[in-house]
Amino acid sequence: MNEVQRLTDLVNQFRDERNWRQYHNAKDLAISINLEASELLEDFQWRTSQEGVEQNFENIKEEIADILIYTLMLTTDLEIDVSQIIEEKLIKNAQKYPAAAKQSLPAATDKD
């Protein structure tokens, strides 16, 4: 069993022990992912990236965990293999953005 599957099993065990699966459907789980992502954004609102991380690091970790938990529930319900879809997407992205064609980009600045 790989680590992704182990975590998925833990998430589903937690959900099933509370009988919450009955309340979860693809639409509501997708909405929950978006809501948690919005909560993550709040940690950076009106701050630079560095300030957001420094001031809210613990909450950032919790929000990322919430996003991943809802995502693992959704992939379970849709019978999607997380490892497989990530590998497939990376292959697709490699074709779309080949490393040999990487361009020199201007240095990133933290203007947010």
Give CATH superfamily name and number for 3-97: MazG-like (1.10.287.1080)
pTM of the model as a whole: 0.86
Q: Domain residue spans in the chain?
A: 3-97
Q: What is the pLDDT of residues 4-22, one digit of tens each?
A: 999 999 999 999 999 999 9
> What's the per-residue H, E or C state across the chain?
CCHHHHHHHHHHHHHHHCCCHHHCCHHHHHHHHHHHHHHHHHCCCCCCHHHHHHHHHHHHHHHHHHHHHHHHHHHHHCCCCHHHHHHHHHHHHHHHCCHHHCCCCCCCCCCC
Q: According to the model, what pLDDT value does residue 1 have? A: 82
Supply the mean pLDDT for the chain.
Answer: 93
109 pLDDT higher than 90? no
Q: According to the model, what pLDDT value does residue 14 have? A: 98
